[in-house]
Amino acid sequence: MPRGKYTSHKGRNRRFTNPEELEEERRRDEQKKWRKQHNEGSSDEEEEATGSGDKRISEGDSSSEEDSSDDDTSKVKGVSNLIEIENPNRAQRKSKKLNNLSVEQEPEKPQLSRREREEIEKQRAQAHYQKLHAEGKTDQARADLARLAIVRQQREEAQKRRELEKKEREDAVKQKTAQTQKALGKK
Domain count, the chain: 2
pLDDT for position 3 = 59
State what percent of residues in the chain have pLDDT above 90. Answer: 36
Does 168 fall in a domain?
yes
What gap in Å lies between CA 67 and CA 49, rounded to an integer? 16
What gap in Å lies between CA 29 and CA 80, rounded to an integer? 15
What gap in Å lies between CA 33 and CA 49, rounded to an integer? 12
DSSP secondary structure code for residue 4 in this structure? S
Cβ–Cβ < 8 Å for 87, 21: no
Under the banding of pLDDT at 50, 70 and 90, the label for residue 53 is very low
The lowest-confidence range among 57-66, 76-85, 121-130 is 57-66
Does 103 fall in a domain?
no
Name the residue type at position 162: R
Does 148 fall in a domain?
yes
3-state SS class at 99: coil
Does 9 fall in a domain?
no
Of the candidates 93, 76, 72, 74, the one whose C-alpha atom is nearest the C-alpha of residue 24 is 93
Give the pLDDT confidence of 116-128 residue by residue, as tens digits. 999 999 999 999 9
Does 125 fall in a domain?
yes
Cβ–Cβ < 8 Å for 86, 17: yes
pLDDT for position 97 = 72
Query: Taking 60 as the threshold, does the pLDDT of residue 82 lie above it?
Result: yes
Question: Domain end: 58, 73, 88, which one?
Answer: 73
CA-based Rg of the chain, rounded to a whole angstrom?
48
What is this structure's pTM? Answer: 0.32
Cβ–Cβ < 8 Å for 133, 141: yes
Range of the domain at 128: 116-184
* Shared-domain flag, residues 120 and 177: yes
Does 110 fall in a domain?
no
Name the residue type at position 17: T
Does 84 fall in a domain?
no
Cα distances (angstroms) measured from residue 176 to each of 96, 128, 165, 170, 171: 103, 64, 16, 10, 8
Query: Taking 90 as the threshold, does the pLDDT of residue 24 lie above it?
Result: yes
Query: Taking 60 as the threshold, does the pLDDT of residue 32 lie above it?
Result: yes
Under the banding of pLDDT at 50, 70 and 90, the label for residue 111 is confident
Report the 10 Å Cβ neighbour count for 160.
Answer: 10
In the predicted model, what is the mean pLDDT of residues 25-48? 75
Does 50 fall in a domain?
yes
* Shared-domain flag, residues 123 and 180: yes
> Which contiguous run of DSSP H or E holds residue 152?
helix 139-184
State what percent of residues in the chain have pLDDT above 70. Answer: 60
6-15, 100-109, 111-120: range with highest mean pLDDT: 111-120
